């Protein structure tokens, strides 16, 4: 039996009744967080360009473009919503994936759910199944996959989107295996494009392509059954001989579900997750010692070299570039005691006061070498004040999810803050409540209809203007 078939057998066996209540709760938390991030990101240039290109000359469709009242085909909506969800780099993370699980899976799942008139329970099951699938493929290929330069959100997340779509479509094991094999050839995304519009495009494309693979398989499209383990297949091409362990794809399936352990990491700052421990450390130092930029002569930011490879950006040249600059993020943390949307708007990255601080910040890799992919978030900041005193704080893991619990009072404020960019004030609470109880919906179109009715700017109003 091929690996795709073995994996497909597990995907089709998933049942809502077998999903623990805590996993359902975290799925809903991810829905809230991901859609909130898309509401905030939908008016960025990247999602707008993608929507313009994909929907030109088309007359709408079944699936909502989040943050608007416009609709598109399920495929196009998956792509547009995926890039919007990841546009601000504020969406959730997962250590198994070493990327962003929900931006890869949820846009395809909800877009297809609308097209099918699926229930909330169906959508939750599909999402949890997709989450589990991408995590297990990730277990087989990390660490090498990430360090080689692939962007796992896309190159692995596509299998989550494929599994979720296949589960919603009710494909049998044979067709699900084919969908996964098709997805092998649609997987793409390199880390060279971090700090540009193409990074969030990865999320949109993998969500779209996962759905595309499942729809093709449903219609009888063919693919190599051994697309994963073939000598010219996924493992050998993406990782190379000796740099993967295919047995880990099936090992420990749903025991426990990956959405529970290691779980979902919710971002507290709208920037690259690899900067968050340093931000937390800087904020702690600021509060503990009453630090201000005028009191600081030198800052040392010490993170894992795996994170430093894409966050050592001492002179950010754009707002997107600034999101991946640990120097910029640490400077803002010292200046404001927080890192917020405003710090990545317009020309904020050119702020002269920030520039003065950047010149005083040094970065280096810490000596601690974690054994696994999932332990590289440690960060330390050492501050030397103008009177010669040295203060340091180390953060082993930023505040994120089930294994490092996020206080429940943080989710709704984040949702309201993000949603204010797209929804009318009176509607934000209504959408939030529907997302909190999505498993009770007989048809998820009830949710997206309310989302469409709640937008600040109507399509017709814009057309008339």
Tell me the pLDDT of the chain averaged across its residues.
92
Measured between alpha carbons, how far is 96 from 308 in angstroms, rounded to an integer?
19
Lowest-pLDDT range of 201-210, 359-368, 371-380: 371-380
The string of DSSP codes covering 113-168 is: HHHHT--HHHHHHHHHHHHHHHHHHHHHHTTHHHHHTB-HHHHTHHHHHHHHHHHH
Name the residue among 207, 133, 146, 116 with its Cα closest to residue 177: 133
∠ at Cα 203 (229, 45), nearest 5°? Answer: 155
What pLDDT shows up at residue 265? 87
- Confidence class for position 464, pLDDT limits 50, 70, 90: very low
In this prediction the pTM is 0.90
Q: Which residues pair with 423 in a beta bridge?
A: 455
What pLDDT shows up at residue 73? 98
pLDDT greater than 70 at residue 460: no
Superfamily of the domain at 3-263: 2-methylcitrate dehydratase PrpD (1.10.4100.10)
Q: Count the Cβ atoms, other than its own, within 10 Å of residue 460.
A: 9
- Confidence class for position 43, pLDDT limits 50, 70, 90: confident
Measured between alpha carbons, how far is 195 from 320 in angstroms, rounded to an integer?
5
Measured between alpha carbons, how far is 114 from 207 in angstroms, rounded to an integer?
15
Measured between alpha carbons, how far is 217 from 223 in angstroms, rounded to an integer?
9
CATH 3.30.1330.120 fits 273-395, yes or no: yes
- Confidence class for position 463, pLDDT limits 50, 70, 90: very low
If you ran DSSP here, which 8-state letter would residue 426 be given? H
- Confidence class for position 369, pLDDT limits 50, 70, 90: low
129-160 pLDDT tens trace? 999 999 999 999 998 999 999 999 999 999 99
69-116 pLDDT tens trace? 999 999 999 999 999 999 999 999 998 999 999 999 999 999 999 999
**Range ranked top by mean pLDDT from 149-158, 260-269, 359-368, 404-413:** 149-158
401-458 pLDDT tens trace? 444 545 556 789 999 999 999 999 999 999 999 999 999 999 999 999 999 999 987 6
Q: Parse the chain into domains and list their residue ranges.
A: 3-263, 273-395
């Amino acid at each position: 039996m091929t690996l795709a078939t073995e994996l497909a057998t597990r995907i089709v066996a998933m049942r809502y009744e077998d999903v623990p209540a805590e996993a359902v709760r975290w799925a809903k938390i991810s829905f809230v967080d991901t859609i909130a991030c898309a509401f905030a990101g939908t008016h960025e240039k990247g999602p707008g360009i993608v929507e313009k290109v994909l929907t030109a000359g088309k007359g709408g469709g079944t699936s909502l473009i989040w943050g608007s009242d416009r609709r598109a085909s399920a495929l196009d909506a998956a792509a547009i919503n995926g890039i919007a969800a990841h546009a601000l780099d504020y969406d959730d993370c997962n250590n198994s994936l070493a990327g962003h699980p929900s931006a890869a899976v949820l846009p395809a799942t909800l877009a297809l759910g609308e097209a099918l008139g699926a229930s909330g329970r169906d959508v939750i099951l599909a999402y949890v199944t997709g989450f589990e699938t991408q995590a297990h493929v990730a277990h087989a290929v990390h660490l090498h996959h990430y360090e080689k330069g692939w962007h796992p959100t896309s190159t692995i997340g596509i299998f989550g989107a494929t599994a979720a779509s296949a589960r919603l479509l009710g494909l049998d094991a044979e067709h699900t295996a084919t969908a996964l094999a098709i997805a092998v050839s649609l997987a793409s995304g390199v880390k060279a494009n971090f700090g540009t519009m193409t990074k969030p495009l990865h999320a949109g494309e993998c969500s779209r392509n996962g759905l595309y693979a499942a729809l093709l398989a449903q219609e009888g499209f063919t693919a190599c059954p051994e697309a994963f383990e073939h000598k010219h297949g996924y493992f050998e091409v993406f990782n190379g001989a000796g740099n993967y362990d295919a047995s880990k794809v099936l090992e420990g399936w749903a025991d426990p579900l990956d959405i529970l352990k290691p779980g979902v990491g919710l971002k507290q700052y709208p920037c690259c997750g690899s900067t968050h421990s340093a931000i937390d450390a800087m904020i702690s130092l600021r509060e503990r010692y009453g630090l201000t930029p005028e009191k600081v002569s030198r800052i040392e930011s010490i993170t894992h070299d795996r994170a430093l490879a894409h966050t050592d950006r001492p002179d950010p040249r754009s707002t997107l570039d600034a999101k991946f600059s640990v120097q910029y993020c640490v400077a803002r943390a010292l200046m404001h005691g927080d890192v917020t949307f405003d710090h990545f708007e317009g020309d904020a990255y050119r702020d002269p006061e920030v520039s003065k601080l950047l010149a005083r910040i040094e970065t280096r890799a810490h000596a601690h070498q974690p054994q696994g992919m999932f332990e590289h978030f440690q960060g330390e900041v050492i501050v030397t004040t103008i009177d010669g005193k040295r203060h340091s704080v180390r953060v082993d893991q930023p505040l994120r999810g089930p294994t490092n619990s996020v206080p429940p009072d943080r989710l709704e404020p984040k949702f309201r803050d993000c949603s204010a960019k797209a929804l009318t004030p009176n509607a934000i609470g209504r959408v939030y409540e529907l997302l909190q109880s999505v498993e009770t919906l007989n048809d998820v179109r009830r949710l997206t209809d309310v989302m469409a009715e709640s937008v600040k700017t109507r399509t017709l109003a814009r057309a008339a203007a």
